Amino acid sequence: MILTAGSFLGTYTENEILTQNPFASIDQIGIGQLARTACEKGNQTRPGIKLGICGEHGGDPDSVKFCHKGGLTYVSCSPYRVPVARLAAAQAAIEGKRANAKKK
C-alpha cells in the first residue's frame, strides 16, 4: 500500500494535528529550530555564508518571512510563485526595519 499526503493530510488539518500543509509551508517550530541552528553554526564557521531554501516553501509567504527573520539569505521557488515571494520578502524587510527602529 502506498500512502500519499492526500490520504491523510485533510484529516490531520481537520483534527488540528497540523495547522498547515507541511509540504507547502515550513513548520516554524520544528524545522524552524533546525534552520536557525544551521544559520547560527554556519555563520560561526563561515561568516557571510549564503543560506536559503528552495521549492514550494520558497514561494510561501509565511515561510519567506520566517526565513528572513531566521537569517537565511535567499529563497528560490517556481516562476509562478516569484511575485508572491518577492512581496513577502519586501514585507519581511520592512517589518525587520520597523522592529529595529523601535529597539533604538
Question: What pLDDT, in 10s, does the model give residues 64-88?
Answer: 999 998 889 999 999 999 999 999 9
Q: Is 92 exposed, middle or buried (0-12, 13-18, 19+ CB in 10 A)?
A: middle
SS3 call for 46: coil
Q: For residue 1, what pLDDT is reported?
A: 54
Q: What is the CB-side half-sphere exposure of residue 76 using CA atoms within 13 A? A: 6
Q: How confident is the model at residue 60 (pLDDT cuts 50, 70, 90)?
A: very high
Whether 18 shows a pLDDT value over 60: the answer reads yes
Asked if residues 50 and 73 have their Cβ atoms less than 8 Å apart, the reply is yes
Q: For residue 56, what pLDDT is reported?
A: 86
Q: Could you tell me the pTM of the whole model?
A: 0.78
Whether 3 shows a pLDDT value over 60: the answer reads no
Closest CA to 63 of 79, 81, 50: 81
